[in-house]
Amino acid sequence: MNRASGILMHITSLPQEEGIGTFGSKAYEFADFLKASDQTYWQILPLGPVGYGNSPYQAFSAFAGNPYMIDLQKLVDDGLLSKEEDIILDKIGTDSGKVGFDTITPLKLNLLHKAYEASKKDKNIKEEIEVFKEENANWLADYSLFMAIKDEFNQVSWQLWDKPIKCREQAALDEYKVKLEDEVEFWNFVQYEFSKQWHELKAYVNSLGIKIIGDIPIYVSADSSDTWAQPELFKLDEDCQPITVAGCPPDAFTEDGQLWGNPIYDWDYIDATNYKWWIERMKQNAKLYDMIRIDHFRGFESFWEVPFGEETAKNGKWTKGPGFKLFKAINKELGNIAIIAEDLGFITDEVIELRDKTGYPGMKILEFAFDPKGESEHLPHNCNKDSVAYLGTHDNETIVGWMESPVNKKAFAFAKRYLRLTKKEGYAWGFIRGLWSTPSNLAVAQMQDILELDNSARMNIPSTVGDNWNWKMKKDALTGDIVKKLKRLTKTYGRKVDKDAKRSVKK
């Protein structure tokens, strides 16, 4: 990586009028903001169809896209929704600073169904969908059938479906493919539209000289088309229930550890298939993004495995992962993909050795840096060049929230001395200055920190379910003053975007 900087801003957090961020006009405006402020990277969270708790890390598929990111206005412009439907968009809209998932989900699905009905009359779209189905045959057919059956069973987890279809008996599969044919085609249409709109947006972003960093979870959801369609990839019992689940052990932040509940991979089986599924997954993500951040990278060296049914993660154990063999297989098939290794948590010499062997840059977090003892590897002067530096990630407090926390009183006092923070500059902007000044080739700040927001704008509190993943930026939040501050810092610390990048794609 060349020396550069970027902003972490998830699609759903964009201030689109539909009440949730989409691939619509506000996404293009945000790309323009990045260009105007000399940023080189736009980092987002996973784009998968959210499941339990609206978490992008618990998606119904490791390959499919979130239907609620589809921009409805584009469907109006394409003639798939009428102008009368355009009025309905205002009813979804909100500028409350939160995404109203419960309100948005049924309304958008209803409008997407109407758009699908209209698409049946468009010969060109029908032909394009057939091409899309063929190009994505390795995952799309199973996903669309899974979603159609899930609707049939009132959204319950597939482990609770009738046994014949739960266990994918051929007669049951044949029956549901016929019975739910139209609904399956609806989900094919949704994924076609998602892909079309995303790649149009990505082409525009890239035309500005900006690269997109995507994020993929190491694990998949227990309730996903992946576990249903290919249960042999996971440690499941004869009744298709997980034998063990993922999490992380107790630490200074959580005395019970974190119990994520994702099924554990059967790495012996995956190894015997030459890592085919993982190669296909990385291939799909390489089409979506310019760089990929792999969440919980340490799990490839060793992972915390907890018996299914445990109420906490305390009684887990460390189990060896696939190690370098996985990445060797990926590189052999796909070549060198730009990857960031999320090497946070309980890190051992073995994890560092694996990361260094892959050549992937790791991560540094300034919120972890200011131990009053002054010994942290996350301190700016300890950041190595081949790393990506953050104030915090989606799992951390905002920097303002971190400063306000009584727990961090001594750490904040150290940070004020170290970074020479002043009220005149603004403490948050002093942290951003410190981040931009690190030796790390890439520095990334959350949009919430650029806006100096407190923990009410926090994206996620790990190991909790409820008020997560729903922060939404106010429509008037991006100002000329913010652009000037970012431009100045980016130029001062040698992170300026390529000035010769040209706009070659229309909005």
Residues with a known catalytic role? 295, 342, 395
The token duo for 17 is 């009028």
Would you state the torsion angle of the CA atoms of residues 277, 282, 283, 284, taken in this order, to the nearest 10 degrees? 90
Radius of gyration of the chain (CA): 23
The span from the CA of 43 to the CA of 493, in Å, is: 20
CA distances for 435 relative to 22, 131, 389, 419, 428, angstroms: 29, 45, 7, 10, 11
Report helix, strand or coil for 226. Answer: helix
Contacts of residue 490, Cβ cutoff 8 Å, sequence gap at least 6: 5, 37, 38, 39, 436, 496, 497
Distances 364 to 171, 399, 507 between C-alpha atoms, Å? 52, 15, 35
- Angle CA 212–194–213, to nearest 5: 10
Q: How many CB atoms lie within 10 A of CB 177?
A: 14
Cα–Cα distance, 368 to 251 (Å, whole number)? 14
DSSP per-residue string spanning 335-377: ----EEE---SS--HHHHHHHHHHT--EEEEGGGT--TT---T
Q: Tokens 């100045």 sit at which residue?
A: 488
* CA 72 – CA 24 distance, rounded (Å): 8
Which of 12, 30, 9 shows the shortest CA–CA distance to 20?
A: 12
Two structure tokens written together for 337: 């993909």
The amino acid at 88: I
SS3 letters across 278-322: HHHHHHHHHHHCCEEEECCHHHHCEEEEEECCCCCCCCCEEEECC
Distances 270 to 2, 93, 267, 283, 495 between C-alpha atoms, Å: 35, 45, 5, 16, 41
Partnered with residue 5 across adjacent β-strands are 443
Of the chain, the end-to-end C-alpha distance in Å amounts to 28
How many other CB atoms are there within 10 angstroms of residue 41's CB atom?
Answer: 24
